[in-house]
Amino acid sequence: MIRSFWIKVTLSSALLLVSMLLLPHSDYVRYQSIKTGVYAKSKWLYERASFDETPVNVAFFGTSHTLMAAKAPKLQANLEQELGKTIHISNFAIPQLGRDMHYSLMKMLLSQKKPDLVILEVRESEARDLHPGTHYLAPAVDLIQAPLFVNLRYIDNLYRLPGRNFKLSLVSLWPELFNYQGEFDPANYSGEHYASGNDMDRITQSDREKTKEWLDRARKRKGYSAPYKYNQVGSLKESVFFNANNSYFKDMIALLATHQVDVKFFYLPDYNTTYPPLRDIYSQHAELINLGYDFYARPEVWADLGHLNSKGTQVATEQLTQALVSYYNAN
Amino acid sequence: MLFPSVEFIFVFLPLTLLFIWLGTKSGKVSLVNCLLFTSLIFYVLPNLEHAYIIVGSILVNYFLSSKIQSGSDTTSFRLMWLGIIFNLAIITYFKYMYFFGGIYNGLTGNDISFDKLVLPVGISFYTFQQIAYLVDSYKYRDAQYKLNEYSLFVCFFPQLIAGPIVHHKEIMPQISNLLNRKIDPHLISIGVIFFIIGLFKKILLADNFALIANPIFTAAEPESIDTLTAWIGALAYTFQLYFDFSAYSEMAIGLGLILGIKLPVNFNSPYKAANIIDFWRRWHMTLSRFLRDYLYIALGGNRKGESRRYINLMLTMLIGGLWHGAGWGFIIWGGLHGFYLLVNHAMQHYLPGVRLHRMVGVILTFLAVVFAWVYFRAEELSTANTIVLSMLGQSSALMQSFELNQLLHITFLLIGFFCIWALPNFGKWIGYTGVECNLETIKFNTDQLLKSPLMVVVVSLMVALSMAFLPEPSVFIYFNF
């Protein structure tokens, strides 16, 4: 009797959990489900892609490095001056490196808009782990079909899915009851460019400068062996350790090719990096925008080890402007 | 390690059961040693820096209790006090030094620096448990156990971190009997149901009530909290704590049964209590028992006249408040409950004929408890005062327009009321009354219950929803005490 009770309970629970995976929900609600800090930007990302009819000509994807280095309004103004036409720039970067997040955001954007160019941040190396926030934003099917081999997040993302979908479908039924927006409200929209007023913005806008001693001490504290944040590993280890992110990287290149969108890579390593990215998986696909090793070694352009301050952003924006002017002149 | 976590449910618990099964099957390791080993792993792995405290405390208390039982009266008495002081010194150092140091500095004008130390997990529980053991060793001299058995009594992982505070006479005979015990699938099954109910209460109820209560209690401007919001916050915390502690208690009982140990009931539908005396017979029952047996009675109880009885009551509750944490909020909470008990006892003494209708009694008791919880929860006294004033309609904040979101909160609170007042208590339902309960009776009652198809539906729903939301558990409130 006990045995049959537990068999029934196990089967019914499994069935219930699987059915939760199938519950429908609103994508807009899903993009509102991260409400903490700078990640709350995800709501704007969806609104910019889906509800704002202004085109997106150039889209940046990356981490906090790009979030702080590429100031879309300034770039847009520069390009208008140089080219005499409006090129709409959007910064879709979100903190923390994890290509699954970039892939999800890119897929969402490309389902709604057709940019001319995507600029994808690259760092010293791909990360071993995927992005911790992807399980909030990615559609269930993408999480299920994620690469299995050495994907440190796979199980974690998967077991969050039933709960996430259950919650999202409930919220989609009565969004206002849960403090979500069911419909797009232009009055609550940041506009073409995202302005959060959060810490990230404040750091970039500040004139905080670091001395060489401070930055070197910080590098030492973090145990970075110069000149890289990531240690170089052999090719076998590389394909094992970095498989998940490399897979997503390749998927993004394929996705962009399918949508006939050009791509450039934007190299934004940490302070004092003196070499190109460790794994040369980038050069075969597109041009690398490199701000210059002299630039990365200048202490006065850094707010901390990985983020540019307002002076650094200014220089980066000028260089990005030149790269984009060249791109548009050539096309 | 948290019970409602993936690591515990899918890694630690299965490995523990496998280890016990393999260990005892081979006959090379006793069940006691298996349980002791896994309990130590459970505690030490996440609390490595504090492991020496519990290990040291066990060794010292075991040594002292042996000496107490073999020594002369005077020596034993001194050793007992030495042990009590030793235990209190440890807990004072880690838990109260910063708080009392601040008071000392405030009173004397000194500026001595006292560090706020990280509280070793479970210290309040295992300290009280061992004090009781020392006192009983002195009083009865009948606690001759082996070191591994004693260590398991203190460390048994289902109750180590947040109780119940077990008495050695309840547990030690069971531990000794473990040697001859076979794994009982029937008992494991009942234990699993207890565990599932606790898991559901923690993840689906307590943690969601926390989402309502937390923003209100941590509001940057508490004076902006209007009356409705204050009530929502206070009630949400009242339910959060209820389901949190109830969940832990049921999970502990469930784990105990899975491992073959009956733990005492620690929580018996306290919000159904019709008066505050009854409340304390239902809420954290093993702490109430400890405070009564080792503090209230030691202070003289009701043996020294009516007024002394009230003083003893108040002192016991104040110390009970302080046991929960070093802060004025806990002391006031204890004081309020002391006052409630005092009024309750005084009414019984001076107005023996007055009997409130049960429902009136339940509501009055519940409201008194709700107000006291505000002081228990708020991090600042000023916040607690502001919330209480708002609840009494004395808020300086204007009544805000009713937000849709509040409708959700109120609906959730109504679910809470339904659960605490209308639903049966599973333990009571199957006849689990704690250590004394008859296993055959609870097995029979559970069998009857499991025959119902409704039970399959209810348990499956609980399992599915708990598993769905398992990845984001929060710490049990009583882990902090």
In this complex, do B460 and A13 lie within 8 Å of one another by their Cβ atoms? yes
| Best CA proximity match to B416, nearest among B238, B203, B228 | B238
Of residues A17, A176, A177, nearest to B464 (C-beta): A17
Percent of chain B predicted with pLDDT > 70: 96
- How far apart, in whole angstroms, are the C-alpha atoms of residue A139 and residue A162? 12
Co-location of B205 and B136 in the same domain = no
pLDDT at B55 over 80: yes
Q: Are B92 and B139 in contact (CB under 8 A)?
A: no
Interface check for A158 against chain B (CB to CB < 8 A): the answer is: no
Q: Are residues B241 and B158 in the same domain?
A: no
The DSSP result for B400-440, as a single string, is PPPPHHHHHHHHHHHHHHHHHHHSPPHHHHHT--STTS-HH
Say whether residue A4 is in contact with chain B using an 8 A CB cutoff.
no
B122 or B221, greater pLDDT? B122
Query: Where does the pLDDT of residue B70 fall: very low under 50, low under 70, confident under 90, or very high at 90 and above?
Result: confident
Alpha carbons B74 and A113: distance in angstroms, whole number: 88
Report if residue B19 sits inside a domain. yes
**A149 lies within 8 A of chain B by CB:** no
The answer to whether the peptide bond before residue A227 is cis (omega within 30 degrees of 0) is yes
Asked if B64 contacts B82 with a C-beta cutoff of 8 angstroms, the reply is yes
The percentage of chain B sitting over the pLDDT mark of 90, rounded to a whole number, equals 49
Which pLDDT value is given to residue A231?
62
**In this structure, is residue B290 part of a structural domain?**
yes
Q: Which residues touch A281 (CB under 8 Å, ≥6 apart)?
A: A126, A246, A249
pLDDT at B183: 73
Q: Which residue of B has its CA nearest to A165?
A: B468
For testing the chain A interface, which of B9, B403, B404 should be mutated: the one with the most A CBs within 10 Å? B404
Report CB contact under 8 Å: B469, A16. Answer: no
Q: Which of B131, B155, B183 is the last residue of a domain?
A: B183
Task: List pLDDT tens digits, range B246-274.
Answer: 999 999 999 999 988 899 999 999 999 99
Domain count, chain B: 2
Does some domain include residue A6? no
Answer yes or no: do B382 and B422 share one domain. Answer: yes
Q: State whether the Cα torsion B175-B177-B179-B181 is positive or negative.
A: negative
Q: Which domain holds residue B80?
A: 6-183
Shortest Cα–Cα distance, B205 to chain A (Å): 14
Q: Is the pLDDT of residue B425 over 70?
A: yes
Q: Is residue B362 part of a domain?
A: yes
User: Which one is predicted more confidently, A72 or A218?
Assistant: A72
What does each C-alpha distance from B326 to A71, B70, B332, B387 come to in angstroms? 49, 37, 11, 21
Active site residue B345: no
Averaged pLDDT, B167-190: 81
More confident residue, B181 or A98: A98
Q: What is the mean pLDDT of chain B?
A: 88
User: How far apart (Å, rounded) are the C-alpha atoms in residues B126 and B94?
Assistant: 14
State which of A14-28, A144-158, A266-280 shows the largest mean pLDDT. Answer: A14-28
Q: Is the pLDDT of residue A197 over 80?
A: no
Yes or no, beta carbons of B404 and A176 under 8 Å apart: yes
The verdict on residue A322 lying in a domain is yes
The SS3 of residue B111 is coil
The answer, for A207 touching chain B at a CB cutoff of 8 Å, is no
Whether B472 sits inside 8 A of A8 (CB atoms) is no
For A161, nearest residue in chain B (alpha carbons): B468
CB contact under 8 A, A159 and B186: no
The mean pLDDT of A289-299, rounded to a whole number, is: 89
Report the alpha-carbon angle B114-B115-B118, nearest 5: 145
The DSSP bridge partners found for residue A266 are: A121, A289
Interface of A with B in 176-205 (CB under 8 A): 176-179
Residues B171 and B190 placed together within one structural domain of the fold: no
Print the domain residue range for A256: 20-330
For chain B, say whether A159 makes contact (Cβ under 8 Å): yes
Q: Which residues 189-248 of B have a C-beta within 8 angstroms of A?
A: 189, 192
- For residue range A79-109, what is the model confidence (pLDDT) as tens digits? 999 999 999 999 999 998 899 999 999 999 9
In a domain, A178, yes or no: yes
B71 pLDDT band, cuts 50/70/90, is: confident
- C-alpha A215/C-alpha A304 separation (Å) is 7
Higher pLDDT, B47 or B472: B47
Q: Does residue A166 lie within any of the structural domains?
A: yes
Out of A2, A12, A163, closest to residue B186 by CB: A2
Let me know whether B62 and B157 are in one domain. yes
Mean pLDDT for B177-206 is 87
The answer to whether residues A165 and A23 touch, using CB atoms and an 8 Å cutoff, is yes
So what's the pLDDT on residue B120?
A: 86
Q: Which residues in chain B touch residue A160, judged by CB atoms under 8 angstroms apart?
A: 471-472
Query: CB contact, 8 Å: B9 with chain A?
Result: no
Q: What b/e readout covers A248-276, taking b as 16+ CB neighbours within 10 angstroms?
A: bbebbbebbeebebbbbbbbbbbbbbeeb
A204 pLDDT band (50/70/90 cuts)? low
Of A9, A176, A179, the CB nearest to B456: A9
Q: Are residues B262 and B159 in the same domain?
A: no
Question: Would you say residue A227 has pLDDT above 70?
Answer: no
B158 and B247 inside one domain:
no
Q: Is the pLDDT of residue A209 over 70?
A: no
For residue B350, the model assigns a pLDDT of 85
Residue range B290-321, pLDDT digits in tens: 899 888 888 888 888 888 888 999 999 999 99
| Boundary residue ending a domain (B183, B206, B226) | B183
Based on the fold, state whether residues B266 and B281 are members of the same structural domain.
Answer: yes
Tell me: pLDDT of A36 over 90: no
Q: Do B88 and B229 fall into the same domain?
A: no
What is the widest separation between alpha-carbon atoms in chain A?
Answer: 80
Confidence band of A7 (pLDDT split at 50, 70, 90): very high
Condensed to tens digits (0 to 9), the pLDDT of residues B7-44 reads: 899 999 999 988 888 877 777 777 888 889 999 999 98
Confidence of residue B400 (pLDDT cuts 50, 70, 90): low
Of A187, A174, A252, A197, nearest in space to A51 by CA:
A187
Range from A12-16, A216-220, B285-289, B474-478 carrying the lowest mean pLDDT? B474-478
* Cβ contact B470–A159 (<8 Å): yes
Same domain, B49 and B121: yes
User: Is B154 within a domain?
Assistant: yes
Question: Is A68 a domain residue?
Answer: yes
Q: Is the dihedral of CA B201, B202, B205, B209 positive or negative?
A: positive
Of A5, A163, A177, Cβ closest to residue B408: A177
Report d(CA B86, CA B297) in Å as an integer.
22
Q: Give the list of residues 6+ apart from residue B193 with CB closer than 8 angstroms, or none.
A: B254, B426, B446, B459
Tell me what pLDDT residue B163 has: 75
Q: What DSSP line would sit under A267-306, residue for residue?
A: E---TT--S--SS--STTTS-EEE--HHHHT-GGGBSSSS
pLDDT at residue number A205: 52
The pLDDT-based confidence of A184 (bands split at 50, 70, 90) is very high
User: Does any CB of chain B come closer than 8 Å to the CB of residue A8?
Assistant: yes
- Over the Cα atoms of chain B, what is R_g? 23
**pLDDT computed for residue B305 by the predictor:** 82
In a domain, A13, yes or no: no
CB contact under 8 A, B408 and A178: yes
Q: Does A162 sit within 8 Å of B456, measured CB to CB?
A: no
Q: Which residues have CB under 8 Å from B141's CB, separation 6+?
A: B68, B69, B76
The SS3 call for residue A264 is strand
- Is A28 inside a domain boundary? yes
Select the highest-mean-pLDDT range: A265-279, A312-326, B396-410. A312-326
Q: Which residues of B touch A162 (CB under 8 A)?
A: 464, 467-468
Model confidence at A226: pLDDT above 60: no
Contact B186/A at CB under 8 A:
yes
Whole-number pLDDT of residue B19: 87
- Predicted pLDDT of residue B173: 85
Alpha-carbon distance of A199 to A192, in angstroms, equals 20
Q: Say what the pLDDT of residue A56 is.
A: 96
Catalytic residue among B167, B324, B337, B345: B324
Do A121 and A61 form a contact (C-beta atoms < 8 A)? yes
Continuous segment of H or E residues that includes residue A265: strand A262-267
pLDDT of res. B300: 86
Nearest to B284 by CA among B296, B270, B271, B272: B270
Q: Which residues pair with A228 in a beta bridge?
A: A225
pLDDT(B170) > 90? no
In a domain, B1, yes or no: no
* Structural contact between residues A316 and A291, judged by C-beta atoms closer than 8 angstroms: yes
Residue at A15 is within a domain:
no
Grouping H, G, I as helix, E, B as strand and the rest as coil, residue B146 is coil
Tokens of A99: 């290509």
The two three-digit tokens of residue A195, written as one number? 């302005």
* B117-165 pLDDT, tens digit each: 888 888 888 998 999 999 989 988 877 788 988 999 999 999 888 878 8
Residue at which a domain ends, from B133, B149, B183: B183
Average pLDDT estimate for A199-212: 59
The Cα-based distances of B429 to B41, B425, B444, B445 in angstroms read: 34, 6, 12, 8
**Residue of chain A with shortest Cα separation from B443:** A2
Quote the pLDDT of residue A137: 94
ipTM of this model? 0.81
Q: Are residues B165 and B217 in the same domain?
A: no
Query: Is residue B289 pLDDT above 70, yes or no?
Result: yes
Domain count, chain A: 1
Q: Which residues of B touch A6 (CB under 8 A)?
A: 189, 192
Strand partners, A122: A267
Distance CA B8, CA B258 (A): 14
- Same domain for B122 and B192? no
Nearest to B450 among A1, A12, A178 (CB): A1
